Structure 1
């Protein structure tokens, strides 16, 4: 049995969702693809797929095998590409996990530029606020805001994103303009952001000179999504801290008002990270370099935090 060919066939079936579609993408008869997967299951003494006349479902064992299989295929293809002088190195699939805000506001609008340079790289974007286990799930890299505590990741800092504290004019008219952190704690509501994985709320962070404080104030709305969080602020539900690049157009049209300007929130570091134990492929390296250029526009060399 051509085990690597069988593994490739299995991966194609999982990604296509059927043997017929997988066969079309491989340019092979359906019976050949089916036989390859059956032989693979027999050699493993493991059922990877549940088949019915209408659908193909991946078994729990098949999910785990698929995650490892795509890493094996990627490493094998990269090895061959580099051995042939890199002629094939900048093609193939790259799996990237990124939060919805960065995906929709920064990354996706610039992708035509990336594809103009590397038309044969296929990006699979997992757009989620969930912090995936990229080693176990076979993800090539993640783009994340905040600290990266895991020692299993090799990270490169892309930028430090500016945060702005703001509210709507109608909210400030009703509740007053806060002049100090104590005003925030005593007289105001916040639109709260919480972390999807831990469910812990993100405190309101303020900084003036060398003094840093954190505030946990009453909230009428808590959300784990940055876009929903922004819309909560725009709805007048309270004061919020959000990315400056998201708030900027709303501030320009007068829908939001920056407050507490002498107490600036610390900036948020943004990193791109890959598994520590995996040699970076050429297609990953060119993507990392391109992403670094895109995010550099949001950086500040005089970051005070």
Structure 2
């Protein structure tokens, strides 16, 4: 059910969680990058001779540290980088251009994994999920356009399962 939150700017927004869906993260690289630098078999291999595409928060400038899990193991992706971006689309473009190993949202890379433009790394490792919510102005009556959008977003997330 929708819950109302008061945000710093003083506006009232309704925040709806999109069910049990989340935005799974995937680690991948371009085939040309894998050919030039080799296929890392384990996340720890990224520390030796591989470059990552670093992402940071557009709000704070802090680096995002992506974590990978397998069974009881946890690995934080750190490594050398030549590029740091604060936008997922820019990170995707860098990954497609072969500028580094990319960890980003599955829905962004799934079409490129299916087409072969990107290769999934560490398929037995899982990235943290990012919960998905939609926020909109609080109103007693939810506009039909918004209701349709939320349903479309749920279907989009279902279709974005990693390849």
TM-score interval, smaller chain: 0.7 to 0.9
Relative to total residues, which structure has the larger strand share, 1 or 2? 2
Determine helix, strand or coil for the equivalent of 1:187.
Answer: coil
- State the Cα distance separating 1:274 from its structure 2 match: 5.8
User: Bigger radius of gyration, 1 or 2?
Assistant: 1
2:66/2:128 contact within 8 Å kept:
no
- Mapped to 2, the partners of 1:290 and 1:210 lie a distance apart of 40
Is 1:236 aligned with 2:94? no
Is 1:255 aligned with 2:128? no
- Mapped to 2, the partners of 1:209 and 1:299 lie a distance apart of 24
Partner of 1:265: 127
Partner of 2:150: 292
- Mapped to 1, the partners of 2:27 and 2:107 lie a distance apart of 12
Determine helix, strand or coil for the equivalent of 2:74.
Answer: strand
- State the Cα distance separating 1:171 from its structure 2 match: 0.6
2:44/2:75 contact within 8 Å kept:
no
Gaps in structure 1 of 5+ consecutive residues: 1-132, 142-153, 301-305
1:161/1:299 contact within 8 Å kept:
no
Aligned residues: 151
Which residue of 157, 167, 173 corresponds with 2:29?
A: 167
Determine helix, strand or coil for the equivalent of 2:154.
Answer: helix
TM-score, structure 2 as length reference: 0.79
Partner of 1:136: 9
- State the Cα distance separating 1:235 from its structure 2 match: 0.8
Question: After TM superposition, which residue ranges in structure 1, 4 or more long, deviate above 3 angstroms?
Answer: 283-292
- Mapped to 2, the partners of 1:293 and 1:211 lie a distance apart of 36
Superposed CA RMSD: 2.5
- Mapped to 2, the partners of 1:214 and 1:287 lie a distance apart of 40
| Relative contact order higher in (CA < 8 Å, ≥ 6 apart) | 2
Partner of 2:17: 157
- Mapped to 2, the partners of 1:227 and 1:274 lie a distance apart of 23
Partner of 1:178: 40
Determine helix, strand or coil for the equivalent of 2:68.
Answer: strand
